[in-house]
Every structure is written in C-alpha cells, then in structure tokens.
Structure 1
Amino acid sequence: MDAVRHYFPELSIIQHEMLDQLTPLYADWNSKINVISRKDMEHFRERHVLHSLAIFKTIRFPEGSRILDIGTGGGFPGVPLAIANPTCSFVLLDSVGKKLKVIDGVAESLGLSNIETIHDRVENHRGSYNYIVSRAVTNLPNFMRLIHHLIAKKNQKFSSIYYLKGGDFNDELSTVELKSRTYELSEIFKESFFETKKILRLRH
C-alpha cells in the first residue's frame, strides 16, 4: 500500500485523489519553474507530501483556523495540509514570487479554495493567525526573531507554532522562551528518511 494511504486512512477518497495529483502537477510545474531538486522529485511523495502531513499526525486544526506557512517554497507543508484540513484557511508566504506562481497553479488545478499566497518577507508581513507552520527555513533563534510580531501575547488568536526540523537543535532551543514539545517522526513513520526528522511545537 502507498505510504500516504497507509498512514492516513482517515482521509477521504477525494482527499487522497488530490494528494495523488500533486506528483504529476509538481513534475509538470517543476519542468518550467524549478522549485524542487531533481533528487527530491524522485522521492516527492515521501519527502514533501508525507513529511508535510506529519503535522496532521500531531494536531487536527480546529474548524475555521487560520494558518500561516512561512517560507513555503513550493508549497510545503501548506499545500498537503490544506488538502487534509479543508475547513481551515491557509496563507502561504514566501519572498520568491515564482514559487508562489507554482502554488497558485497547483491550487487552481485541484480546486483548492482554502489557500492564499502572499509574496512578502515574514518580517514585513502583518496578520493574525491561530497557527504558524514552517519547514526549517532558518535557524530557530533567527526564525523566532523574524516572527516575534506575529506571536506577541497581544495577538490572542495565536495558539502554536509547528516547525519541521531535522537533527539536534537543543542548543537552538535553549534561546527560545516559549514552551516546547518535540515529536520524533521516526515514531510516526518507519521510512529511513524520517530517522532524524522532528516536529517542534512552540507555544506561550
């Protein structure tokens, strides 16, 4: 059985069909605008779709939640999470406009209406969100510095950050004032790619 179907039997047939379509859609777009390396494209389902959906294993965003994906690149983890959480709205932010063009094209092909793309740097972006997700766009102290205005306590909507990261980041974590919890992806997925991969949850 396909790994995505194996680990996420709770998703509907339509959701799985949309996740299936990501591979040919990204292969087509990637031939025009390079957003994923050739090596990673060969392992697309595992390294991009399954990796993104790891967050869905740790939280089911409440209906109506507004989620910001920072440094989304080609749309990860935002696009797979938007498919898995159709009652939530996702804002996918990146400073490289051509990457967002790919996301817009993929979302249009799939009929994904709960995705909005924004071309901006996170330090300049203003908005109110329940959750922030990201896939290790920079080191953790720098990431926290860039998003401090989005998670200020005066923003009462904010709940948590879910940060996909690999390796040992205890030294980085020691500088962060928020409460943290680490999820080992090797305990969720058996594939060797996930042996050193983690999700870091941060909240006030």
Structure 2
Amino acid sequence: MEIILKYFSDFTPKQLDQFRALAPVYKEWNEKINVISRKDIDALYEKHILHSLAIAAVTDLPDGLQVLDLGTGGGFPGIPLAIFFPEVKFHLVDSIGKKIKVVEAVAEALNLTNVTTAHSRAEEIKNRKFDLVVSRAVAPLKDLLHWSKPLIRKGAAEDKPTGLICLKGGDLAQEISESGSRPKMVNIFKIFPEEYFQEKYVVAVR
C-alpha cells in the first residue's frame, strides 16, 4: 500500500479503505480461483494496482464517463481505476467466467457501486457504447483497435478522453506499425521510477 501513497496523496478515507482492502480480498479469492500468479500476489500493489493507476496519472477521467475494461482478467486496470474515479462508470468484461466471478466478488466486497461486469467477448457486446476503452496486455494493438472501434461513442466532446488507452510493455515498434495507428505513448518509468516499470508504457489512441 505504501507504494501507492508514494505517488498519490489526495484520497478520501473511503478510497484509502478500499485500496487497503484490495490485498486481503484478492489473497482470499486467489486461494480459491488463481487469477494472479503466486509470486505476483505479494507484489499486488506495485505490479497490478500502481500499474493500473498509470492511466490515472496521465489521463483525468471526468465524472459520468463510461469506460469499458476489455479483457479485465482479475479486474485490472478497471478495479483500481474505479476506486480512483468513483464518479466514472466502469464495465469490466472478460471471456473467462471464473475471472469475472472474482471481479464481481472484489467489487462487492469494496462496495464499488460504479462497476458492472459481464462474462463476454468484445464482439458480443451489443447495444452499448462507451467513451473510452481501457485494457492491460490483452492482445496486439491492431486487435484491440478492431474490437474497440464499434464500441466507442462517436462525436465525443474535445475535452473528454475518448478512444483506447492500454498498458503495454517491451519494444512496441512492430506492433504499432501493424496497427496502422499513431498512438501517444508515455513511459511509465518516468512517472513511477520503479525498476518494474522499465519498458512499460501507457499507449493511447484517440
């Protein structure tokens, strides 16, 4: 938890309680359904929660924004972002049912009223549009853009973040080239100078 407070300070008591509660809740559920690797569960705050909050460090999400977390896995980046932005609506989807079961349990334990979930693939989402799609290391950028495009609301206000924001690592030159997009990239190590974040990026395609 200390590593979160090293980089962010402006939390309400409720948000602090929710962030503190993440470790015991995830540890309990991870014993039943393994959604986070055993070695990573001990580094939960750095490798999962702070990593997710890199999006919050570079993008302010205004109240009322509708955000889709595509391939949320165990709830990242959606759950930490939902705590950080309590007035933003997050819809967390994953094609693996047991992962969504864990996400639902975590959201319920933390009383996150701004989180909804679905056991679904991106292409199965019908009759819903979002301002923003977020994702963490789910698929190549080309695929993420292909899945996101039909789900993003058209004609958003200029001051609203729209499009796709994803967390990625490594050498992305070929992946970006194949996607045909011109993303804005932020090196996470420059925001959070911890060894783990070397060669990790926030990649945004408006």
What's the CA shift string for 1:103-132, capped at 9, x where partnerless?
A: 111111111100000111112213210111
* Counterpart check, 1:162 vs 2:165: yes
Alignment correspondent of 1:15: 15
Q: Do the aligned residues in 2 keep the contact of 1:71 with 1:95 (CA within 8 Å)?
A: yes
Alignment correspondent of 1:172: 175
Matches of 1:62 and 1:186, distance apart in 2:
25
Alignment correspondent of 2:142: 141
Q: Do the aligned residues in 1 keep the contact of 2:145 with 2:164 (CA within 8 Å)?
A: no
Alignment correspondent of 1:128: 129
The runs of 5 or more residues in structure 1 that have no matched partner are none
What's the CA shift string for 1:105-161, capped at 9, x where partnerless?
A: 11111111000001111122132101110001011122222333224xx73348121
Q: Do the aligned residues in 2 keep the contact of 1:5 with 1:16 (CA within 8 Å)?
A: no
What's the CA shift string for 1:28-75, capped at 9, x where partnerless?
A: 001011111101112111001100011000111011000000000010
Alignment correspondent of 1:32: 32
The runs of 5 or more residues in structure 2 that have no matched partner are none
Shift of 1:177: 4.1
The one-letter code sitting in structure 1 at the alignment partner of 2:166 is Y
* Counterpart check, 1:105 vs 2:129: no
The one-letter code sitting in structure 2 at the alignment partner of 1:169 is L
* Counterpart check, 1:182 vs 2:185: yes
Shift of 1:13: 2.5
The one-letter code sitting in structure 2 at the alignment partner of 1:185 is I
Q: Do the aligned residues in 1 keep the contact of 2:66 with 2:90 (CA within 8 Å)?
A: yes
Shift of 1:172: 1.3
Q: Do the aligned residues in 1 keep the contact of 2:142 with 2:180 (CA within 8 Å)?
A: no
Report the TM-score when normalising by structure 1: 0.93
The one-letter code sitting in structure 2 at the alignment partner of 1:176 is S
Q: Percent identity?
A: 41
**4+ aligned runs moved over 6 Å, structure 1:** none
**SS across alignment from 1:146:** helix
Matches of 1:142 and 1:163, distance apart in 2:
12
Q: Could you say what the CA RMSD is over the residues aligned between the two structures, in angstroms?
A: 1.5
Q: Do the aligned residues in 1 keep the contact of 2:93 with 2:120 (CA within 8 Å)?
A: yes
The one-letter code sitting in structure 2 at the alignment partner of 1:119 is H
Alignment correspondent of 2:75: 75
> Greater CA deviation, 74-83 or 105-114?
105-114
Count of residue pairs brought into register by the alignment = 201
Shift of 1:20: 1.1
Matches of 2:180 and 2:11, distance apart in 1:
35
